[in-house]
Amino acid sequence: MAFTNRRAVTFIEIVIAVGILAVAMIPLFGLMSRQTVDTDRNASQAFAMNKASEILNAILDNVPFAALRQGNPGFIKVDDIATRAKYQRYNEDWARKMVPVLFPGSDNQSAGWPCRGVFTDSRGISYLVHLRVEDVTSEQKPPRPERVKIGPSFPAGSPTSFAETREMTFAFLRNPAILSDGSWLQEYSRDPAQRPYAEVDLGSGRGVAESPNDIYRDEGMEGASADEPRYLDPTAERYTTKMVTEKVPYDVSDKYGWCVMKKLLVQVQWNLDQRYFNNPEATEGRVQRIHLMTIKGDID
């Protein structure tokens, strides 16, 4: 009888091979898991950023200034302004359609519709959107605007400036007094390149010609006639908000009645822990937040 020598793989060898393969695959599984986590985070951040931007843009473009009320969260309130002519279309029917688009789940209260709602993306992650509204108010109304000469060193050096204030103010450089004199008529002259020395209205709807030189330093105007206006060391003038705006068209204390701008700060919060996908307010797990801020002016 003839026997043939055969070599077979033993069970122990199979176990050792599987063990080696498992050890080799551990880093790969870790990398795949990490990539999945990064993908979830990046996708959720993109959704949150887009949603925050959409809400702020919608408020800036479609919600009247007077309908936004200060608070944390802020409120959208229209029942006390809808009787005014320019706000007639912004009534409760408008609010019932607009608010759910901006803040799903928000219910009408005595103070208005809270600027707070929850969105859910296609993966089932819920996002809590919370808008803070802060009035930029003014309490000071001087009898006349502040004025200061900025000094002849500007723009090469630092100009003389106004004292610091906690209020929002509006400042500008006044034109030379000669330009306000109704009896003065500038003899318009040009340089050899046929460019204007100073800004001048071309008339007939052709726009404005601007000086190619620095009019505040009178560069290139040495040969101009004596009646040319001089812009060196101009006077700066500053107004407080209360001097340039009207009182808001809704009932509020005098402190907040003079408001020309509102700060809008939106926060979007969510949780990447699967246990809290539907509970964005949870403080445990993997809490995520983003913030966007803008300012809305009273241009109603």
- The answer to whether the CB of 271 falls within 8 A of the CB of 179 is no
Judged against a pLDDT cut of 50, whether residue 233 lies above it is answered with: yes
Q: What is the pTM of this model?
A: 0.68
Mean pLDDT of 121-142: 90
Contacts of 54 (CB under 8 A, 6+ apart): none
Count of other CB atoms within 10 angstroms of residue 68: 21
Q: Which of 115, 162, 51, 42 is nearest to 264 (CA)?
A: 115
216 confidence band (pLDDT: 50, 70, 90): very low
Percent of the chain at pLDDT above 70?
Answer: 72
Q: What is the pLDDT of residue 289?
A: 95
Tell me the pLDDT tens digit for each residue of 279-295: 999 999 999 999 999 99
Mean pLDDT of 246-252: 84
Query: What gap in Å lies between CA 220 and CA 80, rounded to an integer?
Result: 58
271 confidence band (pLDDT: 50, 70, 90): very high
Domain positions in the chain are 33-138+247-297
Query: What gap in Å lies between CA 294 and CA 127, rounded to an integer?
Result: 20
Query: What gap in Å lies between CA 288 and CA 272, rounded to an integer?
Result: 7
Tell me the pLDDT tens digit for each residue of 35-67: 555 677 888 999 999 999 999 999 999 999 999
Cβ burial 184-206 (10 Å sphere, 16+ → b, else e): eeeeeeeeeeeebbbeeeeeeee
Q: What is the pLDDT of residue 215?
A: 47
Count of other CB atoms within 10 angstroms of residue 234: 20
Q: Which of 60, 40, 38 is nearest to 266 (CA)?
A: 60
